[in-house]
């Protein structure tokens, strides 16, 4: 029982490390200027190390000191967690556009007629070879950490489960494995909650003093302390690893598999129609979940103008518990009615069909991108042409990004861009109150004013229905989880069981968990309408076409749901 407790703790903290990355993905994109395709690849990269080794490890399971192996894997995972936070410490402080009206510097990005060239320092400061090299180093460190995370995770689940199954009594074994299984479902939820807590702190909380932080967490340039969560999670893993070095090896002889049987068994299972179809359905479902888990937070942030912290809170407290409820209900129905295989498959089909009905309206619950002058909106006909006539004499920087919301409910990418000449600063908190006499914003024929920060999509009224429907869809889809496993376990030969499950997990990894996030990330990238430029290369996306983002992101999800069905 102590082993079960330790293993639950270890699995939880391991999932914290891998799940936490997904909760801070939009933050890391913003901080290091990554496209969603890159961040999607990063998020699924731990599966690479994992997949390469999992088959071998499952094979040699009975010939090694399992607890010690689990301990070593856990230490690797903990190292990976600390490595993930390293980029924060090797790079300088986060430089958002310092063109903000700022008490500590004289540059304000107001409209200054006749002053040319005052912006040169802004555009090319971040473009030295050193800065470009720094960015490559950051990516390299993160990809290495993700690979290590995958490799370290290999022995943890298979060895832990077989160890428990070997030494627990027949009666208690299902209970213990059930406990561990529920932990693996709770884990990501806890990770999103951890993300929600950490992203409320400013990223450079260790590098700058509190009164120098000018951004609030509502600001689109705000970047939360993503690295803190990795330190917390990695420390937890390191703690959980300690007891494993003191468990005994204590083995009873298991049936050993021989490598010569490998191709025969493989073909026998892959030719089995029920096995193959159920695994394909699970591949579709997993591909959907992989994209959902990686980019749902980002989607909620953009579509409903939420902070990263709140978006994580919703996923951790509503969506993931919903999926848990579905899994439990599915299992309970199975047990209560002692279902036959045909009834199991009927239950999967009905669950998915209802899920489709509930998920379809989600495609229409959303709003277009807010009006952004010169990008999604233009009063005159020459649309998409960056310079507005009203700010021609301002000589604004190309790259400035300090969004403000005009009194005419149009967003401008910077005060200079709106032709604002005056900034009013609150003396107590050193924060900007508003910008006035803006030549591009007209109020009753006079120059208007603007508030700092984005206007938002004005879509908040659809947020509650969206959350309720997506939670319901999640519950319905996950009711098919247990019956589909039963279909696999009961339809193949008993001696192939563990092998068939191993192959199933490998197929899920290769066909769903690895390509899923990359596919979703690429689809999201195609909907960007304004890229941040760093050294003439595309960095992170500033504005998405929200309608396209929703249609492609949820459309892809719907496509996989239909595939599963």
Give the Cα separation of 547 and 368 in Å (integer).
5
Domain final residue pick, 452, 485, 509: 452
- Stated as kind and residue range, the H or E segment containing 529 is strand 528-534
469 and 555: one domain? Answer: yes
Domain final residue pick, 232, 256, 280: 256
156 and 245: one domain? Answer: yes
Q: What is the CATH number of the domain that holds 24?
A: 1.20.1250.20
Burial of 71 from C-beta contacts in 10 A (0-12 / 13-18 / 19+): buried
Give the Cα separation of 100 and 299 in Å (integer).
27
Whether residue 327 lies inside any domain: the answer is: yes
Domain count, the chain: 3
Please, are residues 112 and 394 in contact by the beta-carbon 8 Å criterion? yes
Whether residue 123 lies inside any domain: the answer is: no
96 and 77: one domain? Answer: yes
506 and 422: one domain? Answer: no
Strand partners, 11: none
Give the Cα separation of 248 and 68 in Å (integer).
9
Whether residue 16 lies inside any domain: the answer is: yes
84 and 223: one domain? Answer: yes
136 and 199: one domain? Answer: yes
First to last CA, the chain: 40
pLDDT for the residue numbered 109: 72
441 and 506: one domain? Answer: no
Tell which residue, 406, 387, 409, 401, has the closest CA to residue 447. 406
Tell which residue, 84, 67, 72, 104, has the closest CA to residue 18. 84
Whether residue 419 lies inside any domain: the answer is: yes
Give the Cα separation of 376 and 258 in Å (integer).
63
248 and 307: one domain? Answer: no
Give the Cα separation of 312 and 306 in Å (integer).
10
Kindly write down the DSSP assignment for every residue of 42-90, as one continuous string.
Answer: HHHTHHHHHHHHHHHHHHHGGGS-HHHHHHHHHHHHHHHHHHHHHHHHH
Whether residue 241 lies inside any domain: the answer is: yes
List of E strands, 309-445: 404-406, 411-412, 420-426, 431-443
Domain final residue pick, 211, 231, 256: 256
199 and 275: one domain? Answer: no
Domain range for 397: 385-452
What are 133's two structure tokens? 């090299």
Whether residue 379 lies inside any domain: the answer is: no
Note the pLDDT tens digit of each residue in 154-192: 888 878 877 877 777 766 776 777 778 778 878 888 999
* Numbers of helices and strands, H then E, in the chain: 20, 7
Tell which residue, 289, 349, 358, 346, has the closest CA to residue 319. 289
68 and 198: one domain? Answer: yes
DSSP assigned state of 422: E
62 and 139: one domain? Answer: yes
List per-residue pLDDT tens for the chain, 565 residues long.
888 899 999 999 999 998 999 999 989 998 888 899 999 999 999 888 788 787 677 666 566 788 999 999 999 999 999 999 999 998 888 877 654 444 444 456 778 776 554 444 444 555 666 666 777 889 999 999 999 999 998 888 878 877 877 777 766 776 777 778 778 878 888 999 999 999 989 888 888 776 667 777 777 788 899 999 999 999 999 999 999 999 887 644 445 445 556 677 677 777 788 888 999 999 999 999 888 889 999 999 999 989 989 999 999 999 989 988 898 888 888 878 888 889 999 999 999 999 999 999 999 998 888 888 878 776 654 444 445 677 777 877 777 788 889 888 888 888 888 888 888 887 776 677 888 888 888 777 788 888 888 888 888 899 999 999 999 999 999 999 888 888 887 887 777 776 777 778 788 888 998 899 999 999 999 999 988 887 777 888 989 999 999 999 999 999 999 999 9
Give the Cα separation of 184 and 199 in Å (integer).
23
Whether residue 78 lies inside any domain: the answer is: yes
pLDDT for the residue numbered 49: 79
Whether residue 380 lies inside any domain: the answer is: no
233 and 327: one domain? Answer: no
| Packing angle, helices 156-167 and 173-198, rounded to 10 | 150
Strand partners, 450: 406, 435
């Amino acid at each position: 029982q102590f082993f079960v407790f330790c293993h639950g703790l270890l699995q939880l903290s391991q999932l914290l490390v891998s799940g936490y990355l997904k909760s801070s993905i939009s933050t890391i994109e913003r901080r290091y200027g990554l496209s969603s395709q890159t961040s999607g690849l990063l998020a699924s990269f731990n599966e690479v190390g994992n997949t390469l080794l999992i088959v071998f490890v499952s094979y040699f399971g009975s010939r090694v000191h399992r607890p010690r192996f689990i301990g070593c894997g856990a230490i690797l995972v903990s190292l990976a967690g600390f490595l993930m936070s390293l980029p924060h410490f090797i790079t300088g402080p986060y430089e958002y556009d310092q063109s903000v009206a700022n008490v500590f510097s004289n540059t304000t990005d107001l409209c200054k007629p006749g002053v040319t060239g005052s912006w040169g320092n802004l555009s090319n400061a971040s473009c030295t070879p050193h800065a470009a090299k720094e960015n490559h180093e950051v990516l390299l460190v993160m990809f290495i950490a993700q690979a290590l995370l995958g490799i370290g995770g290999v022995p943890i689940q298979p060895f832990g489960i077989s160890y428990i199954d070997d030494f627990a009594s027949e009666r208690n074994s299902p209970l213990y494995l059930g406990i561990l299984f529920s932990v693996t479902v709770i884990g990501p939820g806890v990770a999103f909650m951890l993300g929600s807590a950490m992203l409320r702190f400013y990223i450079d909380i260790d590098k700058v003093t509190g009164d120098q932080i000018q951004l609030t967490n509502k600001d689109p340039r705000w970047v939360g302390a993503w690295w803190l969560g990795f330190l917390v999670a990695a420390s937890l893993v390191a703690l959980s690893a300690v007891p494993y070095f003191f468990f005994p090896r204590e083995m009873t002889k298991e049936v050993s598999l021989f490598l010569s049987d490998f191709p025969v068994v493989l073909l026998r299972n892959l030719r089995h129609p029920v096995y193959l179809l159920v695994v394909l359905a699970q591949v579709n479902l997993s591909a959907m979940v992989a994209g959902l888990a990686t980019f749902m937070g980002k989607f909620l942030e953009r579509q409903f103008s939420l902070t990263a912290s709140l978006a994580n809170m919703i996923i951790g407290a509503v969506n993931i518990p919903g999926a848990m409820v579905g899994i439990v209900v599915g299992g309970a129905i199975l047990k209560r009615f002692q279902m036959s295989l045909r009834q199991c498959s009927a239950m999967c089909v009905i669950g998915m069909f209802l899920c489709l009905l509930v998920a379809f309206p989600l495609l229409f619950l959303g709003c277009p991108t807010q009006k952004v002058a010169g990008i999604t909106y233009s009063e005159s006909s020459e649309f998409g042409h960056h310079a507005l006539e009203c700010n021609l004499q301002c000589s604004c920087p190309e790259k400035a990004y300090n969004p403000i919301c005009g009194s005419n409910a149009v967003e401008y990418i910077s005060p200079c861009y709106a032709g604002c000449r005056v900034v009013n600063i609150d003396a107590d908190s050193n924060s900007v109150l508003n910008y006035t006499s803006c030549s591009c914003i007209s109020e009753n024929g006079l120059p208007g004013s603007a508030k700092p920060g984005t206007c938002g999509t004005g879509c908040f009224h659809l947020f509650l229905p969206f959350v309720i429907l997506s939670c319901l869809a999640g519950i319905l889809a996950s009711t098919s989880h247990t019956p589909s496993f039963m279909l696999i376990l009961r339809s193949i030969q008993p001696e192939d069981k563990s092998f068939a499950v191993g192959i199933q997990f490998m197929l899920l990894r290769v066909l769903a968990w690895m390509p899923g996030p990359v596919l979703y990330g690429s689809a999201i990238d195609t909907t960007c309408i304004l890229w941040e430029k760093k050294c003439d290369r595309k960095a992170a996306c500033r504005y998405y076409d929200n309608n396209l983002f929703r249609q492609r992101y949820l459309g892809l999800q719907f496509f996989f749901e239909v595939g599963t069905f």
